[in-house]
Amino acid sequence: MLDIAFAKSALPKSGTLVLLLDEAGEAAGGAAGPTLLHKAADDATGGAIGRALAAADFTGRVGQSAIILAPGAGLMRVIAIGIGKRGAFSSRLAEDAGGMATAMLARDAQASVDVSGLTPALAASFAMGAVLRGYRFDRYRTTEKPEDKPKLTKLVLLGGEATKARAAWDALRPVAEGVFLSRDLVSEPPNVLNPASMADRCKALTKLGLTVDVFGPKELTKLGFGALLGVSQGSVNEPRMVVMQWHGAPAGRKGKTKPVAFVGKGVTFDSGGISIKPAGGMEDMKWDMAGAGTVVGLMAALAGRRAKVNAVGLVGLVENMPSGSAQRPGDVVKTYSGQTVEIINTDAEGRMVLADVLWYCQQKFDPAFMVDLATLTGAMMVSLGHEYAGFFSNDDALAANLYTAGQTTGEKLWRMPLHENYDKQLKSEIADMKHVGPRPAGAITAAQFLQRFVNGKPWAHLDIAGMAWSGKDMPTTPKGATAYGVRLLDQMVADCYES
């Protein structure tokens, strides 16, 4: 993870300096004056920076950038990043600016950033964006040339209220670490990350103060997890369920406060089973455990920042493979709830995993609410593409809290409908229900199916199929695993549920 340091304002004598300039050509959000580093740097270089920015038509609009090579005063480079209108520089824009800085500094081992015009909170947000964009999953690259690897290891943020900014960043850092953990899990190849090895990585979080319990096939069979076990029966990699608990409510309330609960679909590889997927793109199905990856990263973030809340995270971990022992279309399974389900398509396996885990969660923990996350349906990607995750909820207050947190963090949500009329599509002739309906409204009928295992508990289902992986670089997310939902849910907990 990129090292972030804070120091008093002083013009560096060498290296690269990053300036955050608004549309008036002044430091972000601060009053212009000779103490600001952009003015000091311009003076030290005999006005070379100002002339170069004018020649480049740099106006300071949001997202604009300019690079000035060897301007003088010992500086190798000056990078100017536009942040728009003064006073409108938000935490989201600060994060984007940080991400842009990291991308532009890939060739520098260390650089300095003028944050003299930023509040401590905005300086910390800049650091958050810079760190998140610096993520790289390269543990399996053995022949990469040194010159092709990013060199940046440290950013020094200069000016402003350094002590307060450092404290603000210290509060954000555990969330960044949770994001990195989630991205690592989702990025791992499926021959490395299977249900057992992922459960082991969850178990390692006890070092943060989490209580972690792992349920293997014997325990799951004894419990009666027929839906989850049915999905896994075609694979030599046996299933797991992991339960992670964080007891952070203030003393005197720990045992009296209902936990908030998060449930993740963890299909470590999804071939589709007997209803096998097309070969093209099947390698992407290593990230069909992204919902579980988000829950693991979230629990690490809550524990890391010592969140004042009781929380439980549950992940159902399976591998969905075709074999002589695999589940068949037409099978009927009995779920942990006692309800029976006719299997129509073995590639609709995620909802079966969630069905058992959701019922167990509300029976075992009686949580204040449950939120599940899953890369559940292609239908959701057809509906919303890669801009929003679709979500469903039986509780308007919970839905509002989720939506607001999504707007704050930029992990956007769009609420989709639930209605009993869709239930007709799940009617089975031989069991209590089918687990899929016809093609229309596929994401909705999937949510309707899950709702049957909620038992009236306040609940929301986030279908993150279009958001778990990015096919291109984004401001604070390099191409690859996004860890979508870690920051969203952490924000919601912080805003609405901490004591």
Which of 307, 317, 314 lies closest to 364, judged by CA? Answer: 314
Task: Name the catalytic one among 351, 434, 452, 487.
Answer: 351
Q: What is the DSSP letter of 250?
A: P
Q: Alpha-carbon distance 63 to 53, whole Å?
A: 15
pLDDT digits (tens, 9 = 90+) for 321-338: 999 999 999 999 999 999
Q: What is the pLDDT of residue 247?
A: 97
Catalytic (active site) residue 277: yes
Cα–Cα distances in Å, from 289 out to 180, 303, 311, 319, 422? 15, 21, 21, 9, 27
Quote the tokens at residue 226.
Answer: 């027929």
Q: What is the pLDDT of residue 39?
A: 84
Q: What is the pLDDT of residue 379?
A: 96
Q: What is the pLDDT of residue 37?
A: 75
Q: Alpha-carbon distance 64 to 471, whole Å?
A: 23
Share of the chain above pLDDT 90, in %: 89
Catalytic (active site) residue 412: no
Quote the tokens at residue 249.
Answer: 């409510």
Task: Name the catalytic one among 201, 277, 412, 415.
Answer: 277
DSSP letters spanning 430-495: SSSEES---STTHHHHHHHHHHTTTTT--EEEEE-TTTSEESS-BTTB-SEE--TTHHHHHHHHHH
Share of the chain above pLDDT 70, in %: 97
At 487, phi and psi to the nearest 5? Answer: -70, -40
Domains and CATH numbers, the chain: 3-160 (3.40.220.10), 174-496 (3.40.630.10)
Q: Alpha-carbon distance 424 to 435, whole Å?
A: 12
pLDDT at 362 over 50: yes
Quote the tokens at residue 355.
Answer: 């069905």
pLDDT at 34 over 60: no
Q: Are strands 3-7 and 389-393 parallel, antiparallel or unpaired?
A: unpaired
pLDDT tier, 30 (very low <50, low <70, confident <90, very high otherwise): very low
